[in-house]
Amino acid sequence: MSRVGKNPVPVPAGVTIDLKGQALKVKGKRGELSLMIHDDVVVAKEGETLTFKPRDESRRARMQWGTARNLARNMVRGVSDGFTVNLEINGVGYRAAADAKMLNLQLGFSHDVKVPIPAGIQIKAIKPTEIEITGADRQKVGQLAAEIRSLRPPEPYKGKGIKYSTETIRRKEGKKK
């Protein structure tokens, strides 16, 4: 039995929800997101909350129940507050610069790496070694952060590379004489 799916999703002030059948649209100050909820899950808007229930007691319906609830919660939180992922760049000569449509990274390659910024996501280079990725869609923000990190993942000997600000790199000792 899903413990996550039992909890209703509170809708804060300033967020409007449009529910037509299985199509859920959420609109807030940070944008608009939509989701098609799985047929095995029943969604109901009760006052200022969204509630989810499985259509039957099948295993698949119970799995989709908690998933649908969390996806809806992430949408509501995204359009009201937004999601932010911070990346840190470590290494001599490693730098980042961002403009409206492109993130330019110098990562020790023979050329600069240019990453296009998708619609609905903002990237700021707070310092030349810190990047802040912000957006309403949690999946897109996390995916872009993971793709940028994969360009030069941190290595365990000197710690050079791109890492999440919350990540801790386990360091290894170098070879001894």
Work out the pLDDT band at 147, boundaries 50, 70, 90: very high
Alpha-carbon distance of 122 to 9, in angstroms, equals 26
- pLDDT tens, residue by residue, 28-82: 999 899 999 999 999 998 888 999 999 898 889 888 998 999 999 999 999 999 9
Average pLDDT over residues 142-167: 93
* Residue-level pLDDT at 19: 87
| Domain range list for the chain | 9-80, 83-164
**List of long-range contacts for 147-150, beta carbons under 8 Å, 24+ apart:** 147/115, 148/87, 148/103, 148/105, 148/115, 149/87
* Residue-level pLDDT at 1: 55
* Residue-level pLDDT at 153: 93
* Residue-level pLDDT at 117: 93
What CATH code is assigned to 9-80? 3.90.930.12
Query: What is the chain's mean pLDDT, rounded?
Result: 91
Average pLDDT over residues 83-97: 93
What CATH code is assigned to 83-164? 3.90.930.12
- pLDDT tens, residue by residue, 113-136: 999 999 889 999 999 999 999 999
* Residue-level pLDDT at 87: 95
* Residue-level pLDDT at 121: 92
By percentage, how much of the chain surpasses pLDDT 90? 64
Is the pLDDT score of 2 beyond 70?
no
Average pLDDT over residues 130-151: 94
Average pLDDT over residues 87-113: 92
Q: Do domains 9-80 and 83-164 have the same CATH topology?
A: yes
* Residue-level pLDDT at 46: 86
* Residue-level pLDDT at 165: 93
